[in-house]
Amino acid sequence: MRLPARLIRFLAVLFLLLPLGAVATAAPAPAAAGTYRQVTGFGSNPGNLQMFEYVPAGLPSGAPLVVALHGCTQSADAYHAHSGWAELADRWGFAVVYPQTTTANNIQRCFQWFEPADYGRGRGEAASIVQMVSDAEGRLGSDGARVFVTGLSAGGGMTANLLAAYPDVFAGGSIGAGLPAACASSLLQATSCQMNDQGLTPEQWGDRARGLHPGYAGPWPRVAIWQGTADYTVRPVNADELRDQWTDVHGVPRTPSSTHDLPGGTTRSVYGGAVEVYSIAGMGHGLPVDPGSGAEQCGTAGAYFLDTICSSHHTAVFWGLDGDTEPPGTLPAPGGLHVTGTSDAGVSLAWDTVDGAASYVVRRDGANAGTSASGSFTDTGLAPGTSYAYTVAAVDAEGRPGPASAPVTATTTGAQPRCFTATNYAHVAAGRARTSGGYVYANGSNENMGLYNVFVTRTLKETSPGYFVIAGSGC
């Protein structure tokens, strides 16, 4: 019997939504002193989800809270057993909530990141997850200013949506092999999001995120993006689109302010201290873990928990969960942060002072650049022709900094052209170019560099920060 065309298309889309293959039996949960259990009665639960939680022994009130979302065909048990979050919760003192969906919602137990009725603010599954956060805060006394969300694949897509729809709930997020916020509004569109470049500009991607909470002015959550270069289920272009989306939301350059080599063939690219992209060379579809007892190791390997690097550890450090549980200060974020001057090696800043502030801490690309006793600061010793993202926070009389201001970007003068020779794929991964329709275009000049693959090599010249041209004899 020949199947109808519409059914064939539906099954094809459904297949692509099964990145995690057959259901794998979860390994036993890691030995821990805390309690892992299901929680019922956490709210009206409009998204028909289940709630599980892990609470370390002796967890004090005021501890952070992490929400961890499984991938398709997975479960809360599997994510608890393999992802490493329970180990880190014991090590650094925070609780973990594991939302779980069922076949009643989606036949393959995927969080429905592609359905606006489930990812919009106040709707469906997203609303159920936020109810779980409220319930945990009430019972455990979790710090509402330090709530974070992470997820894999469909859970990663839902994570991006939650960060956009509830930036007032989540201080940070980590998206593993996921999709940009509001990429799809139907099951059929989900396939295109997984497999193809959507051809949107960074501003358009940013608008999609901002559109999930219209009128919200910040601050926005910090975002970590994890992606394997050999992922053929959720293609690496999604990491590029996520980078474009969240750098635009934060107002920081798409050119990395720094890059770092990490274990497992991982490259970490930092964008203004607000966004980080972790690209794992040769890794397929799954969550990176690194079993062992080392300081940076966690998790256990299994189906779609891939032994490369412990993403949960590096994410927790990015969020500031590595042992620093001191409550933040209560002073508001300073307003009016702006650049008053630049030189080849320096940036001068000013902002509105805050009543009661003993001092101010200035952060450059997420790291402390210095302190000031007034509403101004000059940062020195910088590289010429380089963009930096700055925030400032007011410090109270007890030495506790409050929330950071909205970021501003400053570019030092004296830029010298830089040349980069790499494959077209590597240029895109490094943020020097973008893809569209299978071709690669240089950022800034939009010059066509040829096919998007690892076989075409080009030399690009950066003539000004973020502006690249195909180089001739000048490099």
Q: What is the pLDDT of residue 474?
A: 59
The answer, yes or no, to whether residue 6 has pLDDT greater than 70, is no
Find the mean pLDDT for residues 407-428.
85
Are 308 and 343 members of one domain?
A: no
Transcribe 425-462 into DSSP letters: HHHHHTTSEEEETTEEEETBT--EEEESSSS-EEEEEE
User: Choosing from 142, 153, 174, 269, which is the catalytic residue?
Assistant: 153
Q: Among this protein's residues, is 372 annotated catalytic?
A: no
Contact 475, 463 (CB under 8 A): no
Q: How confident is the model at residue 82 (pLDDT cuts 50, 70, 90)?
A: very high
Domain C-terminal end among 367, 387, 411: 411
Percent of the chain with pLDDT over 90: 68
Between 168 and 326, residue with greater pLDDT? 168
- Tell me, what DSSP letter sits at residue 407? P
Are 225 and 307 members of one domain?
A: yes
The terminus-to-terminus CA distance of the chain in angstroms comes to 62
Domain C-terminal end among 264, 288, 319: 319
For residue 346, give the CATH number of its domain. 2.60.40.10
Q: Would residue 249 count as lying in a domain? A: yes
What range defines the domain where residue 439 resides? 418-470
Q: Would residue 361 count as lying in a domain? A: yes
Are 171 and 245 members of one domain?
A: yes
Q: Would residue 42 count as lying in a domain? A: yes
Q: Would residue 475 count as lying in a domain? A: no
Q: How confident is the model at residue 323 (pLDDT cuts 50, 70, 90)?
A: low
pLDDT digits (tens, 9 = 90+) for 199-237: 999 999 999 999 999 999 888 999 999 999 999 999 999
3-state secondary structure 85-149: HHHHHHHHCCEEEEEECCCCCCCCCCCCCCCHHHHCCCCHHHHHHHHHHHHHHHHHCCCCCCEEE
Q: Would residue 434 count as lying in a domain? A: yes
Q: Would residue 441 count as lying in a domain? A: yes
How many Å apart are CA 295 and CA 306, to the nearest integer?
A: 18
The answer, yes or no, to whether residue 1 has pLDDT greater than 50, is no
Q: Would residue 328 count as lying in a domain? A: no
Are 357 and 275 members of one domain?
A: no
How many Å apart are CA 191 and CA 9, to the nearest integer?
A: 10
For residue 44, give the CATH number of its domain. 3.40.50.1820
Are 235 and 351 members of one domain?
A: no
Q: How confident is the model at residue 338 (pLDDT cuts 50, 70, 90)?
A: very high
Number of structural domains found in the chain: 3
Domain C-terminal end among 256, 284, 319: 319
Are 266 and 220 members of one domain?
A: yes
Q: What is the pLDDT of residue 309?
A: 97
Are 307 and 344 members of one domain?
A: no
Exposed/middle/buried for 116, CB within 10 Å: 0-12, 13-18, 19+? Answer: middle
Are 182 and 250 members of one domain?
A: yes
Whole-prediction pTM = 0.69
Which of 170-184, 261-275, 438-452: highest mean pLDDT?
Answer: 170-184
**Stretch among 168-172, 188-192, 463-467 having the lowest mean pLDDT:** 463-467
Average pLDDT of the chain is 88
Are 376 and 426 members of one domain?
A: no
Q: Would residue 439 count as lying in a domain? A: yes
Neighbours of 420 (CB within 10 A): 17
